Amino acid sequence: MKPFADLSRFINPRNVAVVGASARESSQGRRLYDNLVLHSSVPGEIYAVNPAYQEIGGRPCWPSISALPEAEIDVALIMINAALVLDTLRQCVARGIPYAVVMTSGFSEAGEEGRRLEREIAELCEATGLHVYGPNCPGFVNVRDRLGMTFSPAFKDDLNAGSIGLATQGGGLGRNLLQGLSFGQGVGLWFSAGNEVDLEIPDFIAHMANDPKISVIALLMEGVKNGRRLTAALELARAGNKPVVVLKVGRSEAGVRAAQSHTASVAGTAAVNSAVFRQFGAIEVDDLDQLLAVSRLLTRITPKSGKGLCIYTFSGGTAALAADIAGAADLPMAAFSPATKAALRERLPDFASINNPVDTTADILRNPAASADCLRAICADPSVGTVLFPIPMDYGVITDGMAQAIATVAAETETLIVPVWMSRRLGGGFQLLESAGLLPFLSLSDAIAALAKAVPWQRCAGQPTATAPHAEAAGGGARMLSEAAAKQLLREAGLPIPQGTVVTSAAQAAVAAERLGFPVVMKVVSAQIAHKTEAGGVRLGIASAGAAREAYAAIHEAVARHNPDAVIDGILVERMLPPGGREVLVGVHSDAAFGLVLTFGLGGIFVETIRDVAHRMIPLSRDDARALLREIRYAEVLDGVRGQAPADLAALEDLILKVSDYAWNHRDTLQEIELNPVWVGAEGQGAMPLDALIGLRADADSASERRPS
């Protein structure tokens, strides 16, 4: 894996060159140059480069990078015709300039010639160590140090600095996010590297994970170019206790189509992406509003905020609605201590509701001091981690007083107070909450959705993943092994496999069945028969030697009728497992971005109709395996419904870990595994695959087929 780039000189350059700086008003080259000269604080020199000018706005201009005076230049900003970019980059290398930002379009997004240019840039980077940011990008903005290496006309207006670090791929939505953070907590750094020929989102995450001025990392991704670097960067962020919030475009088919026409990256399967984000502790959100809301909220999170939620308001309807939405979001509500209840009872009218949710009634609006006291008592309750305070309307001075009470208490407590200014009138009360840094929400639903995403992070922050780096994606098709061969490999890998043997005559079948003990199952072994049941190649519940003999003949006959050309290698005779087990699916497949991914789900209709599955990148830790079993929607089936005994979860975990280890050890040759169904008995009865398929990569050599190293 390519190491992460050191971006310190890129983030805070001393001297920069602007290649394509222009004197022409409202040209992109002019806006880029002006953003640096007029609107940025660059500590050193800004060198204009353009053969068409001798000076721009009274400052000197040079014909090329090579012609620049002697100086240590940190970053070259490039806004020239795509065909000229490569030569300029070579000049950068010659001059020892470590970073270049290529904003120009016309590369891989534009067709074959552009893709070729991009490959040459990538080769140049690899050969020389030059770092290229772009091409086809809006540039880089260091908001906190007021540095705009961008041609955007909005740069000078969107300078609300803060501790949120932002990495995007396209420019438009990044600007949208910047404008969304133009009040309250703002953005520290905004990376948006377009086609990502060299520097990629993982480089930016890795930098921000170690940047002490960044507290939350917000990502907007259209595709994942390199899953391995992404997960490694996410691990750095988790180790640095920096929450990562991610919005991934391309979750519906229409979105994938649009994302692919917009960028050149791999869209990835939505479910696998989501599973990987979850596995590596990133918080996935559903839309832009939520990306902003969750990121902003996380900048305020405290160690106590993981405790229970209190809803506190002065309108009964609002209390009910908030409780409703919080209930639907499964947010755990705090139970007040007797002391808290007594403090509220003392200060609130009889008809107020002093249980959580608290409805003080509107009486309290006349008495901001009592309001502050009640809020103080609630914040002091050890079971209360977060107070959600919806303010349904703007009553002018009355709600101003309420806002002041909130700000006063918020400054005193470790409990997170989350005000929601629900009115479209953003009067004095709202302004007061903003000035106090309380980042008031404007929507009750948004606030609760953001809490539901942010609070669990607080609970598991800083926990390192046990997961190791993953396998690279395999290319090419697969060569399938027979059930018997697959089971033999898995048995050697330590998986429990039903006892069985392959027989080639009716007499052998009877002997084998006697030895295994009745009842047995018999199944055809043939490379030409993929769907054994449909071909009549499976007989269940065979209870005597005679029945085994009959079944041997019957399977041969049925399969021959189904496919006269099928070569039958034998019949697999297996001990049948006791009835009443649950059936699940365990599989492994190769994802283009993330490599080998394990899938778990309940069997039968749960897989086929409900598609209730969960995923993890391999290799899995035991914690991963345990979490996987709970992540499916109907996990309760494993616990036992309708008086059924709980399933043998320990055995199922073991089996999943062994599959994961097997796949990991054979990652160079493995394409896919499907164990479907896996039989899971009641506690103590174990778990084992009833059917097994293994597909090897078509390019794996045959020596590794039976004994992958």
Within residues 461-500, the interface with a second copy by CB under 8 A covers none
Measured from the CB of residue 633, what is the shortest distance to a second copy in angstroms?
Answer: 9
Among residues 53, 314, 336, 552, which is the contact residue for a second copy, using CB under 8 A? 314
**Can residue 672 be called a binding residue for a second copy (CB under 8 A)?**
no
Among residues 135, 171, 385, 440, which is the contact residue for a second copy, using CB under 8 A? 171
> Among residues 152, 295, 211, 179, which one has the least CA distance to residue 12?
211
Q: Go through 656-680 and write b for each residue having 16 or more CB atoms within 10 A of its CB, e for each that does not.
A: bbbbbbbbbebbebbbbbbbbbbbb
Residue given tokens 């209730």 in the structure block: 612
H or E, element range at 442 = none
Measured from the CB of residue 611, what is the shortest distance to a second copy in angstroms?
Answer: 10
Among residues 101, 164, 166, 325, which is the contact residue for a second copy, using CB under 8 A? 325
Give CA 6 to chain center in angstroms.
Answer: 24
**Can residue 647 be called a binding residue for a second copy (CB under 8 A)?**
no
**Can residue 609 be called a binding residue for a second copy (CB under 8 A)?**
yes
**Can residue 605 be called a binding residue for a second copy (CB under 8 A)?**
yes
222 versus 235: smaller Cβ distance to a second copy: 222
* Binding string, residues 1-40; x marks residues near a second copy by CB under 8 A: ----------------------------------------
Note whether 267 and 252 are within 8 A (CB).
no
Tokens (6 digits) for 661? 């280890």
Note whether 165 and 144 are within 8 A (CB).
no
* Binding string, residues 268-287; x marks residues near a second copy by CB under 8 A: ------------------xx
Measured from the CB of residue 471, what is the shortest distance to a second copy in angstroms?
Answer: 28
Among residues 15, 337, 423, 685, which is the contact residue for a second copy, using CB under 8 A? 423
Pick out residues in 330-369 that bind a second copy (CB under 8 A).
333, 351, 353, 357, 359, 362
d(CA 165, CA 186): 9
Pick out residues in 207-236 that bind a second copy (CB under 8 A).
220, 222
169 versus 590: smaller Cβ distance to a second copy: 169
**Can residue 315 be called a binding residue for a second copy (CB under 8 A)?**
yes
d(CA 517, CA 575): 7
* Binding string, residues 370-399; x marks residues near a second copy by CB under 8 A: ----------------------xxxxx-x-
**Can residue 258 be called a binding residue for a second copy (CB under 8 A)?**
yes
193 versus 657: smaller Cβ distance to a second copy: 193
Pick out residues in 437-466 that bind a second copy (CB under 8 A).
443-446
Among residues 46, 161, 320, 461, which is the contact residue for a second copy, using CB under 8 A? 320
d(CA 599, CA 214): 35
Q: Which residues contact 113 (CB under 8 A, 6 or more apart)?
A: none
**Can residue 252 be called a binding residue for a second copy (CB under 8 A)?**
yes
461 versus 610: smaller Cβ distance to a second copy: 610
Residue given tokens 């438009």 in the structure block: 172
Measured from the CB of residue 274, what is the shortest distance to a second copy in angstroms?
Answer: 13
Q: Which residues contact 167 (CB under 8 A, 6 or more apart)?
A: 190, 191, 192, 201, 204, 205, 208, 217, 218, 219, 220
642 versus 707: smaller Cβ distance to a second copy: 642
> Among residues 268, 227, 200, 201, which one has the least CA distance to residue 618?
227
Strands 75-78 and 16-19: parallel
Measured from the CB of residue 123, what is the shortest distance to a second copy in angstroms?
Answer: 24
Among residues 25, 642, 707, 709, which is the contact residue for a second copy, using CB under 8 A? 642
Q: Which residues pair with 574 in a beta bridge?
A: 500, 521
Stretch that binds a second copy, among 44-52, 165-173, 570-578, 673-681 (CB under 8 A): 165-173
**Can residue 179 be called a binding residue for a second copy (CB under 8 A)?**
yes
Measured from the CB of residue 634, what is the shortest distance to a second copy in angstroms?
Answer: 6
> Among residues 613, 625, 695, which one has the least CA distance to residue 660?
625
Angle between helices 444-460 and 316-328 (to 10 degrees): 50
Angle between helices 506-516 and 545-562 (to 10 degrees): 130
Measured from the CB of residue 312, what is the shortest distance to a second copy in angstroms?
Answer: 12
d(CA 93, CA 121): 12
Instruction: Report residue 457: phi and psi, to 5°.
Output: -60, -45
**Can residue 253 be called a binding residue for a second copy (CB under 8 A)?**
yes
Measured from the CB of residue 314, what is the shortest distance to a second copy in angstroms?
Answer: 7
Tokens (6 digits) for 190? 């905004």
H or E, element range at 674 = strand 670-680
**Can residue 81 be called a binding residue for a second copy (CB under 8 A)?**
no
Among residues 254, 338, 464, 531, which is the contact residue for a second copy, using CB under 8 A? 254
Among residues 424, 464, 564, 707, which is the contact residue for a second copy, using CB under 8 A? 424
> Among residues 123, 77, 126, 122, which one has the least CA distance to residue 99?
77
Note whether 482 and 537 are within 8 A (CB).
no
Measured from the CB of residue 138, what is the shortest distance to a second copy in angstroms?
Answer: 10
d(CA 345, CA 320): 20
124 versus 637: smaller Cβ distance to a second copy: 637
**Can residue 541 be called a binding residue for a second copy (CB under 8 A)?**
no
Among residues 64, 128, 182, 383, which is the contact residue for a second copy, using CB under 8 A? 182
Note whether 373 and 346 are within 8 A (CB).
no
**Can residue 573 be called a binding residue for a second copy (CB under 8 A)?**
no
Pick out residues in 102-131 that bind a second copy (CB under 8 A).
105, 109-110
Measured from the CB of residue 305, what is the shortest distance to a second copy in angstroms?
Answer: 19
